[in-house]
DNA sequence: TATTGTTATACTCTATAACTATA
DNA sequence: TATAGTTATAGAGTATAACAATA
């Protein structure tokens, strides 16, 4: 009981420390590849999602429309993605990986393997399941809260 | 076994999603207070650490010396922290919260209570303990790896 | 020689607001 | 009216390298 009060700040800081370690490690590993950790996540979303609009992309990695555009401009400049007009909605643009983008993604996946191994090596498979489940619940509550909590509405 | 292979990317992305939800929620909650989520973490480190040098601060929140300086300049401008020459090491500077900084920190703590409640509300106290433990193990392995993995050394 | 901090510089991500074009 | 995307703009965090002063 006292413990849970004392712990009131442990969880947020522990979550931040773990993510920061992951982020920095990934950033360092990808530096030579000319791709940032966040760009990697965007590329992953494209691999999973196939062809997406910018808005769908923004929703998937829960980011901003103009942030997404800034990232896409960089990735397009590097030849990793390409954009085209949407066939049925001419306001929208479709985004997809180029073949160079798919190749780069396979490289990045290899380069990042050590980090994933380290993470999973720190726990049993069962613990990994538990961790993933808890993280999803945290993400779920917090994003749900934000929507219903819109002060300015 | 197939599951753990399939999961190879679940953990990093789940960690990112949870942290992002926390970060965005905190950012939104603190916007009116004129303090960012990262600045809040720095202020927390100062509360726990008392008077620290910039280097100690950089180590605590595992950040860069020049990043720390940039943040401190902003916080000093806002009157939340103050810096002074270190008594025994005249290269170093000491950093501490001003009384305005302590007051602001108490406000921020209050404002952030809802987010902490949401996080802890998504799980039992026992699960929270497990989550914190697993997150620390993840952070531990990854930071350890980075040190021993210095390619350029 | 190594370390603390500063400076200059640059890049990425983030976000808001005003805007165009389309649904 | 609402939505997709662009543009301009700004701020914050990140990081590197060169530098001064001190240990």
B61-117 pLDDT, tens digit per residue, is: 989 999 999 999 999 999 999 999 999 999 999 999 999 999 999 999 999 999 999
Q: Which pair of tokens denotes residue A35?
A: 């791709």
CATH 1.10.10.10 fits B31-109, yes or no: yes
B77: CB within 7 A of chain C nucleic strand: no
Whether A63 CB is under 7 Å from strand C:
yes
What are the boundaries of each domain within chain B? 31-109
**Which of chain D's bases lie under 7 Å from a protein CB?**
3-9, 12-17, 21-23
CATH of region A14-111: 1.10.10.10
Do A120 and B16 count as a contact with CB atoms less than 8 A apart?
no
Q: How far apart are CA A65 and CA A59, in angstroms?
A: 9
Nearest-CA distance B141 → chain A (Å): 6
Which residues of chain B lie closer than 8 angstroms to A19, CB-CB?
15-16, 18-19
pLDDT digits (tens, 9 = 90+) for A50-105: 999 999 999 999 889 999 999 999 999 999 999 999 999 999 999 999 999 999 99
Q: What is the pLDDT of residues B25-58, one digit of tens each?
A: 999 999 999 999 999 999 999 999 999 999 999 9
The CA-based angle A136-B35-B17, given to 5 degrees, is: 15
Residue B62 has a pLDDT of: 83
Instruction: Give yes or no for B119 touching A (CB within 8 A).
Output: yes
């Amino acid at each position: 009981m006292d413990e849970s009060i004392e712990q009131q700040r442990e969880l947020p800081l522990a979550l931040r420390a773990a993510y920061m370690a992951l982020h920095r490690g990934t950033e360092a590993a990808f530096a030579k590849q000319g791709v940032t950790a966040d760009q990697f996540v965007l590329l992953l979303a494209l691999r999973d999602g196939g062809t997406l609009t910018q808005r769908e992309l923004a929703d998937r990695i829960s980011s901003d429309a103009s942030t997404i555009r800034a990232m896409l401009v960089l990735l397009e400049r590097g030849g990793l993605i390409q954009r085209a007009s949407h066939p049925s909605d001419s306001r929208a643009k479709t985004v997809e990986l180029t073949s160079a983008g798919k190749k780069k993604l396979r490289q990045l996946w290899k380069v990042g393997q050590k980090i994933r191994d380290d993470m999973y090596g720190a726990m049993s498979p069962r613990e990994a399941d538990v961790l993933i489940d808890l993280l999803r619940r945290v993400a779920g509550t917090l994003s749900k809260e934000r929507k219903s909590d819109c002060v300015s509405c």
